[in-house]
Amino acid sequence: ASSCFGSWRRETQIAKREALLASERLAQETARSELFEQLELERERAASEVERLRRALFEETQQRTLLQENLKRVFMRGVCALNFEATVLLLK
């Protein structure tokens, strides 16, 4: 009877350990899956932010180029006007 009880006790302890290990593995797998989901969401957010910043940079570059072209045009008009006035003064 003692050996029968000892055998049953060992099997019960082994089954309990295996159940505990399975539970821990499941918890670890769940945590791992959640981490991967969070990483994927963060990657998508980062990619979206990079694209938004890329568009903003492109728009800023276009605005700066347009501003520089307009500034050149205004400066050249001023230079031409000064040259015209100088020519008028020299001809008088």
Question: pLDDT tens across 59-75, in order?
Answer: 999 999 999 999 999 99
Alpha-carbon gap, residue 16 to 24, rounded angstroms: 12
Question: pLDDT tens across 13-60, in order?
Answer: 999 999 999 999 999 999 999 999 999 999 999 999 999 999 999 999
Altogether, the residues listed in the chain come to a count of 92
Tokens of 14: 């082994």
Q: Where are the alpha helices (DSSP H) in the chain?
A: 2-91
pLDDT for the residue 30? 97
pLDDT for the residue 42? 98
Alpha-carbon gap, residue 80 to 86, rounded angstroms: 10
pLDDT for the residue 1? 63
| Whether this model's pTM surpasses 0.75 | no
Alpha-carbon gap, residue 16 to 22, rounded angstroms: 10
